[in-house]
């Protein structure tokens, strides 16, 4: 994994601000080469803004299509769980998957859905615990 420098984070913040003010196709000029210009469509600009948002927060970014299939190892890394735990989730039917020979493949979009569901569940439980703590006057 690459560690982002303060300069990269600052450049991402500035780039994001500039791109957010534009709602159009943009051209990027590559100065290191002979001032080559590259035109980007609006959809690419939106993806770039989102990537710059994460980079400006010091977070890592990976861009992949949602219909991309991942191996169980890559899927486990995406969810930040162990591979055996992921296999258990797949076998319980919590995340759809398919088999290619003896190997399982998982759609990135299905992983995103699962992650969203467990995050929502976590937040709901946390809100319930917070309410309970306030009722019991535990100082939270």
Given a contact cutoff of 8 angstroms between Cβ atoms, the answer to whether 51 and 63 are in contact is yes
Task: Indicate whether 16 pLDDT > 70.
Answer: yes
Q: For residue range 45-82, what is the model confidence (pLDDT) as tens digits?
A: 888 889 999 999 988 887 888 789 999 999 999 999 99
The correct CATH number of 6-56 out of 3.30.70, 3.40.50, 3.90.1280, 1.25.40 is 3.90.1280
Query: What's the pTM value of the predicted model, to 2 decimals?
Result: 0.61
Q: Please tell me the least confidently modeled range out of 21-35, 67-81, 88-102, 107-121.
A: 21-35
| DSSP-derived secondary structure for the chain | -PPPPHHHHHHHHHHHHHHHH--S-EEEEETTTT-EEEEE-HHHHHHHHHHHHHHHTT-------TT-EEEHHHHHHHHTS-HHHHHHHHHTTSS--EEETTEEEEEHHHHHHHHHHHHHHHHHHHHHHHHHHHHTT---
Whole-number Å distance between alpha carbons of 36 and 19: 19
């Amino acid at each position: 994994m690459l560690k982002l420098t303060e300069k990269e984070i600052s450049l991402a913040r500035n780039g994001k601000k500039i791109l957010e003010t534009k709602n159009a196709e943009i051209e990027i000029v590559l100065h290191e080469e002979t001032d080559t210009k590259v035109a980007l469509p609006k959809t690419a600009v939106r993806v770039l803004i989102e990537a710059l948002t994460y980079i400006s927060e010091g977070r890592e970014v990976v861009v992949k299509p949602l219909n991309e299939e991942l191996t169980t190892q890559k899927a486990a890394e995406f969810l930040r769980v162990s591979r055996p735990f992921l296999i258990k989730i797949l076998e319980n039917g919590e995340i759809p998957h398919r088999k290619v020979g003896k190997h399982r493949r998982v759609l990135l979009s299905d992983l995103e859905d699962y992650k969203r569901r467990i995050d929502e569940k976590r937040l709901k439980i946390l809100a319930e615990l917070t309410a309970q703590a306030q009722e019991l006057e535990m100082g939270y």
